[in-house]
Every structure is written in structure tokens, then in C-alpha cells.
């Protein structure tokens, strides 16, 4: 059995006057609208021509040339191109870049209809180059869509997709929904063509969402058609059928016969693939009848091709023959080479199935001949080269016939060999220069990328160094201020209080007090002793003298002992390894960190036992503070606005160390690793 699905994924090109060109069917529709407008007026071409003759040579006249040429696109395309050429020449004289670029968007329509896709591509690329010099983002998006369309016509889907993606990026930057929709729809047709149906369907769905937002019925039908077409290939026949019915409904609502035909022929294709041949036959016949009424022979041709498949599969050979004959006639009249080739192939298979091998052979030959003719420009170039070679050899033979002498023959051969050597040498030189140029470019690019990476790394290092210097200044300032305050408290206020105590003690021996007054006096002396002790404790905490004299190990041990004596909780201090004196600044910072951790444990942990461990290693010092308290959420310390954990982390970073915190219901453990 032979099954085929007609793939008509709508492909958009764009004119700079914002009109859209959609493969063959919208082109036909646009031309019909032009014809109708001409019929309602009295010779608009004459009116435009009179206006053109009266206008001065300015940009308005340029754009009017383009409008005048559009009137001849369908009836006399050569005249249209002539006026487009006038517009381009006038734009060049005026140095009007937009007018020069508009030539491409107008001329490519005619070139595409003539199958001159390479010429159209060069014009589209020229327009893109002009807009890169002075166009808006919208101009660039439109130009990229036109370039992509021409690459797609030439079956270079990868390059086409690059242009569409660039157009989509620009359209999104300027929030142009219409250009976004066209780009997405064209990308959908690319991926469907490449057999990536899911991806194609995804882009078509994006296009449909934008079309609905724009409230454009034809755009909705176009996007839905791509979705349904992908669903046929994905064998999602129910969804495809539903979408084609939506297209039919859209066409009936807007009275657009092109959209109606799209919906019907799509449904017929789905029924053919299910297979449900009776329903497929009904819809193909509806398309044939309606396309004849609306003079749309292209649709009748596709419907005849579909009917031929249905009749061939259901063994209705006579009806299949009639459908193929009519389809071949229409394809010939329309100049649809690809469809005519497919019809010849279908006819060959049909006649082979019914045993008519003579006709099968005839149609197979026609298919092969037509298939060879579609090979493309590369084959034509090869044929031209063969012809030129033949003519050259013919002339050489004539020379050999005329010149019988061996000396002349040898000279001719030597000349040919020398020419070949020169040509080969030139070719090798060109290739070598191109290769060296490319290599140099790549090396410069690589060096530039490395230089940029090094600069970024250096910037990051400088930022980090800047932060460390700031931290160092803050910490150093804090410690200097604490030392000054501790000294002032101890030497100043401490000495003053000691003097007061000495005076009061002397006074006691020289004054006679009753029992009550003596008791009050003794209590005052005790309070003064407590004040002096508290003052010494505060001064000691702010800058412990033992830390300066005996180092970190003894200072931490003394501090832990003082906390345990206070009765807040039990503190066990452990020291591992050989005691090593560090720089004064480092010892003070580590002492402050342990102070802060023990202060946190006393305030929040509700702990009864704390372990403080100081370990000296070969290349680092590690400090561990563990408690058996209630724990806390470690993640919150990363975003804490309090000074406690912020100070701890900044001090550890300043010492280029690491801090690890684990906490749970059974307690908290903090590990510090400081390089020596």
C-alpha cells in the first residue's frame, strides 16, 4: 500500500511595507485582492504614473515606484522588476539606505515565483547588510526572516534556522508580537521538514499563542496548520483531525475559502492515514468541487493526488487512473515540478500493481527524467563543464588533424601542462593563504579570550584583596580600641577605685561608729571590692594580659576556667599538639572568635556542657567548640543580620580559614580550620 502526506508548512517572507507573503496560497490570495481593487477603480496604474511624473526626485518617489511596480507583479513581473530597479537606482543616488534595502523585499517575491532562489538570497543578504549599517531592530528582524526563507527554499535548514533565531531574538527585544509569531511559525516548518516533529509542534504552538493574542484569524489558521501537520507525522490523528476542523471553522467564520480548503484537505489526509478511506474520499471530493468553484487548481491537484492514493490502496484501479490523469494535467498546467514527479511515480506503481508493465515503464522513465531535472544547479554546472570539456577536446582534435607535425603537437601538450601547473599552484596558494588567515584569526581570538579570562580573574582577586584589607582595618581598629579602653579602665578608673578603698580603710581606724553604721561601712567596702574585681574582669576580657604574655593556649584555658567558675555551664578545655606562638593579631582574633561562640552558647543554646578543643597541626590550627544545647537552623546564619555570626565569618575569612557548622536537637558543633 502507498501512503503519502502532503506537507504544506506555511513559510513566510516579509515585505518592508508589512505585507506578508505565504508560500503559493497567500500569494494567490494577495493577487486576487489587488485584482479586485483594480477592478473597482479606474486604472490605478495610470493615476500612480501621473503622480510619479509630477513628484520631485526624493524618497517619496522611491517608495511610489515600489507601489507602482507591485501592480504588475502578477500580470507582468518583468515590468514590476523594471520599476523596482528604478527605485533602487534612485535610492542609490539619494543615498537612501531603506529604499535600497526595500528592493530586495519586493524583488524576491518575483524571483521566488520563478524559482530563482539563489538570486533572491543574494538580494535578501544585501538588504540585511544595508540594515546593519543604519536600520532599526525591526528592519533587521524582517531582513533576517527574508534571508532565512531563502535558505529554507534552498534546503539549507541549518542556516535558515540561524536567521530565524536571530529574527526571533530581535523581535522579542522590541516586543513585536507579529514578527515573533512569523519567526516561530517558520522555525516550526524547519523542524517539521527535518523530521523533529515534537520540536516543530512546540514552535507552532508558540506561534498560535501569539496569533491568538494578535486576534489575526489567518495567522491562527496558519499556525494551527503547522501543529496539525506535525501531529500527522507523530500519528496523533485525533488531535490533528481536531485542529483541521478548527481551521475549517475559522475559514467558514471569516469567509476565507483558502483557509476552508486547508481545513478540508488536512482532514482528508488524516482520514487517509488512519485509515478511513470513505471519509478521506468524501473530503477529497469536497476539495475538488470547491476548488473548481473558486478557481484554485493547486488544491484540486493535491486532492487528486490524495484520491489516487485512496483508490490505489482500495484496488479501485480505474478511479485511481482517472485521478492520476487529472492530477498530471493540473501539475503540468501549474508548472508544479515536484508534484508532477510524484504523480509519475504514483502512476508507475499503479500500473505495475495491475500488471500493465508497459505503462508502468513509461511513467517510471518520466519520473526518472523529471527527478534528474530537479537535481539542481550543481548538476547543471557539471553538465556545463562536461560540454565545455567536449568543445575543448573537439578543438584540440581539429588542431591535431591540421597540424601533422610532431613538434607542434608536443608544444601544445607542453603548453597545456604548464597551464595546469600554474592553475594548480595558484589554487594551492589561495588555499594556503585562506588556511593561514583562518588560523591566525583563530589564534588571535583564542588569545583575546584568554586575556579576558585573566583580566576577570585578576579583577576578582583584587576585589577579594580589597575586602580582606577592609576587614583587616576594621578588626585591627577594634582590637586597638579595646586595648586602649582596657588600659584606661585598669590604670585610670581601677587606680581611682583602689585609692578610694585605701582612703576609706584609713578612715575606718580614725572614726568611732556605732554598730549599725559600722555594718553599713563594711558593706560599702565589700561593694567597692566587687566593683574593683568586676572592673578588672572587664578589662581582662577586653584585652587579656595572659594572652599577650603566654599565648592563645593559656588564654583560652584561663577564659574557660573563669566561665566554669561563674557557674553558667561546665566547660572542658583540651589542647592537642605542641603549643606554637602565633602573631599577636592572629591570637587576638582567634580568642575573640572563641569568646563569641561561648557567648552564643550561654545566651541561646541552654547548654549544660561545652567542649573547647585547640589542636596544633603541621600546617594549620583547628579549634572545635561543641555544646549539648538545643541547636539552631544553620541556614539562617547565612542571611543573619546580627553582628555575632557576621563577625565570626569575617574574622575567619580574614585569616583565610574555613568554618564548618553542624547543629541539631542534640547540640551544636563549630569547627575552625586556620592555616599557619
pLDDT (0 to 100) of residue 190: 85
Strand partners, 670: 625, 661
DSSP for 460-497 reads HHHHHHHHHHHHHHHHHHHHHHHHHHHHIIIIIIHHHH
Tell me the average pLDDT across 26-47.
39
Strands 570-576 and 20-22: unpaired
**pTM, to two decimals:** 0.45
Matching CATH topology for 1-228 and 550-675? Answer: no
- What distances in angstroms separate CA 261 from CA 21, 199, 501, one per listed residue? 18, 26, 112
Report residue 21's pLDDT band, with 50, 70 and 90 as the boundaries: very low
- What distances in angstroms separate CA 394 from CA 397, 411, 415, 515, 636, one per listed residue? 5, 18, 17, 149, 91
**How far does CA 478 lie from the centroid of its chain?**
50
Structure confidence by residue, pLDDT tens digits, 551-574: 888 888 888 988 888 888 899 999
**What is the edge-to-edge ordering of all strands in the sheet holding 570-576?**
570-576, 609-616, 620-627, 667-675, 658-664
Structure confidence by residue, pLDDT tens digits, 581-594: 888 888 888 888 89
515-542 vs 406-487: helix crossing angle, rounded to 10: 170
Strands 20-22 and 12-14: antiparallel
Report the alpha-carbon distance of residue 96 to residue 474 in Å, rounded. Answer: 64
Q: Where are the alpha helices (DSSP H) in 335-405?
A: 337-353, 357-373, 377-402
Report the alpha-carbon distance of residue 359 to residue 325 in Å, rounded. Answer: 13
pLDDT (0 to 100) of residue 180: 93
For residue 115, give the DSSP letter.
Answer: T
- What distances in angstroms separate CA 528 from CA 169, 213, 485, 573, one per listed residue? 80, 85, 21, 33
**How far does CA 663 lie from the centroid of its chain?**
42
With vertex at residue 89, the alpha carbon angle to CA 86 and CA 91, rounded to the nearest 5 degrees, is 105
**C-beta of residue 145 within 8 angstroms of C-beta of residue 130:** no
Tell me the average pLDDT across 361-367.
89
pLDDT (0 to 100) of residue 290: 92
What torsion, rounded to 10 degrees, do the Cα atoms 353, 357, 358, 360 define? 40
Cβ-based neighbours of 447, under 8 Å, separated by 6 or more:
none
**C-beta of residue 118 within 8 angstroms of C-beta of residue 82:** no
Q: Is 612 helix (H, G, I), strand (E, B) or coil?
A: strand
Report the alpha-carbon distance of residue 162 to residue 158 in Å, rounded. Answer: 6
**How far does CA 125 lie from the centroid of its chain?**
23
**C-beta of residue 670 within 8 angstroms of C-beta of residue 659:** yes
| Domain parsing of the chain, residue ranges | 1-228, 442-543, 550-675
Structure confidence by residue, pLDDT tens digits, 43-68: 555 666 667 666 777 778 778 878 87
- Residue 455, classified by CB atoms within 10 Å of its CB into exposed (0-12), middle (13-18) or buried (19+), is exposed
- What CATH class is the domain 1-228? mainly alpha
As a whole-number percent, the residues of the chain with pLDDT over 70 amount to: 76
Tell me the average pLDDT across 111-133.
82
97-113 vs 77-94: helix crossing angle, rounded to 10: 160
As a whole-number percent, the residues of the chain with pLDDT over 90 amount to: 25
For residue 379, pLDDT beyond 50: no
Higher pLDDT, 519 or 127: 127
With vertex at residue 128, the alpha carbon angle to CA 126 and CA 131, rounded to the nearest 5 degrees, is 110
DSSP for 567-609 reads TSSEEEEEEES------HHHHHHHHHHHHHHHHHIIIII--SE
Strand partners, 612: 573, 625
Structure confidence by residue, pLDDT tens digits, 135-163: 899 989 999 999 998 887 776 778 888 89
Assigned C-alpha cell, 248: 475549517
**CATH node for 550-675:** 3.30.565.10
**Pick from 198, 194, 191, 286: which is nearest to 244 by CA?**
286
Amino acid at each position: 500500500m502507498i501512503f503519502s502526506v502532503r506537507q504544506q508548512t506555511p513559510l513566510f517572507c516579509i515585505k518592508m511595507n508589512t505585507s506578508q507573503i505565504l508560500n503559493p496560497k497567500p500569494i494567490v490570495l494577495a493577487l486576487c485582492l489587488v485584482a479586485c481593487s483594480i477592478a473597482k477603480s479606474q486604472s490605478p496604474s495610470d493615476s500612480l504614473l501621473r503622480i510619479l511624473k509630477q513628484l520631485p526626485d526624493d524618497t517619496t518617489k522611491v517608495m511610489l515606484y515600489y507601489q507602482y511596480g507591485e501592480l504588475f507583479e502578477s500580470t507582468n513581473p518583468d515590468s514590476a522588476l523594471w520599476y523596482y530597479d528604478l527605485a533602487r537606482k534612485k535610492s542609490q543616488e539619494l543615498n537612501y539606505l531603506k529604499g535600497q534595502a526595500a528592493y530586495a523585499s519586493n524583488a524576491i517575491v518575483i524571483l521566488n515565483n520563478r524559482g530563482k532562489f539563489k538570486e533572491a538570497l543574494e538580494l535578501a543578504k544585501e538588504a540585511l547588510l544595508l540594515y546593519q549599517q543604519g536600520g532599526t531592530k525591526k528592519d533587521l528582524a524582517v531582513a533576517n526572516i527574508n534571508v532565512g526563507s531563502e535558505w529554507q527554499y534552498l534546503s539549507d535548514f541549518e542556516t535558515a534556522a540561524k536567521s530565524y533565531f536571530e529574527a526571533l531574538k530581535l523581535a522579542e527585544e522590541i516586543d513585536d508580537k507579529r514578527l515573533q509569531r512569523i519567526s516561530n511559525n517558520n522555525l516550526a516548518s524547519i523542524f517539521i521538514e527535518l523530521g523533529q516533529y515534537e520540536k516543530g509542534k512546540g514552535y507552532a504552538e508558540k506561534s498560535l499563542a501569539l496569533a491568538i493574542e494578535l486576534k489575526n484569524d489567518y495567522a491562527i489558521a496558519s499556525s494551527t496548520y503547522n501543529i496539525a501537520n506535525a501531529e500527522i507525522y507523530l500519528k496523533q490523528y485525533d488531535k490533528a483531525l481536531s485542529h483541521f476542523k478548527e481551521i475549517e471553522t475559522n475559514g467558514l467564520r471569516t469567509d476565507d475559502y483558502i483557509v476552508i480548503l486547508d481545513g478540508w484537505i488536512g482532514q482528508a489526509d488524516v482520514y487517509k492515514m488512519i485509515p478511513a478511506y470513505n471519509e478521506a474520499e468524501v473530503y477529497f471530493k469536497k476539495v475538488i468541487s470547491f476548488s473548481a468553484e473558486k478557481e484554485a487548481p493547486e488544491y484540486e491537484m493535491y486532492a487528486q493526488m490524495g484520491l489516487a492514493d485512496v483508490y490505489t490502496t482500495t484496488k479501485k484501479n480505474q478511479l485511481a487512473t482517472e485521478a492520476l490523469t487529472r492530477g498530471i494535467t493540473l501539475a503540468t498546467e501549474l508548472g508544479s515540478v515536484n508534484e508532477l514527479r510524484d504523480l509519475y511515480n504514483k502512476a508507475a506503481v499503479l500500473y505495475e500493481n495491475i500488471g500493465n508493465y508497459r505503462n508502468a515503464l513509461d511513467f517510471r522513465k518520466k519520473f526518472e527524467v523529471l527527478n534528474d531535472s530537479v537535481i539542481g544547479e550543481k548538476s547543471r554546472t557539471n553538465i556545463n563543464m562536461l560540454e565545455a570539456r567536449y568543445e575543448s577536446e573537439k578543438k584540440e582534435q581539429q588542431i591535431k588533424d591540421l597540424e601533422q607535425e610532431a613538434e607542434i603537437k608536443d608544444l601544445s601538450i607542453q603548453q597545456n601542462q604548464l597551464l595546469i601547473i600554474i592553475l594548480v599552484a595558484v589554487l594551492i596558494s589561495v588555499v594556503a593563504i585562506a588556511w593561514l588567515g583562518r588560523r591566525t584569526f583563530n589564534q588571535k581570538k583564542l588569545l583575546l579570550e584568554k586575556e579576558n579570562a585573566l583580566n576577570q580573574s585578576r579583577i576578582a582577586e583584587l576585589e577579594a584583596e580589597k575586602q580582606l584589607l577592609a576587614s583587616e582595618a576594621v578588626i585591627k581598629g577594634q582590637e586597638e580600641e579595646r586595648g586602649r579602653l582596657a588600659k584606661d579602665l585598669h590604670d585610670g578608673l581601677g587606680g581611682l577605685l583602689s585609692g578610694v578603698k585605701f582612703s576609706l580603710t584609713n578612715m575606718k581606724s580614725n572614726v568611732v561608729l556605732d554598730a549599725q553604721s559600722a555594718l553599713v561601712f563594711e558593706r560599702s567596702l565589700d561593694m567597692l571590692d566587687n566593683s574593683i574585681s568586676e572592673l578588672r574582669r572587664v578589662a581582662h576580657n577586653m584585652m587579656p594580659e595572659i594572652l599577650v604574655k603566654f599565648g592563645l593556649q593559656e588564654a583560652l584555658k584561663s577564659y574557660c576556667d573563669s566561665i566554669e567558675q561563674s557557674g553558667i555551664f561546665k566547660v572542658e578545655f583540651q589542647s592537642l599538639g605542641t603549643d606554637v606562638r602565633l602573631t599577636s593579631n592572629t591570637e587576638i582574633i582567634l580568642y575573640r572568635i572563641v569568646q563569641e561562640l561561648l557567648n552564643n552558647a550561654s545566651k541561646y543554646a541552654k547548654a549544660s556542657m561545652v567542649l573547647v578543643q585547640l589542636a596544633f597541626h603541621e600546617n594549620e590550627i583547628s579549634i572545635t567548640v561543641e555544646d549539648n544545647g538545643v541547636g539552631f537552623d544553620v541556614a539562617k546564619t547565612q542571611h543573619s543580620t546580627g553582628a555575632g555570626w557576621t563577625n565570626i565569618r569575617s574574622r575567619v575569612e580574614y585569616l583565610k580559614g574555613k568554618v564548618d557548622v553542624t547543629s541539631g536537637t542534640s547540640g551544636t558543633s563549630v569547627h575552625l580550620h586556620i592555616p599557619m
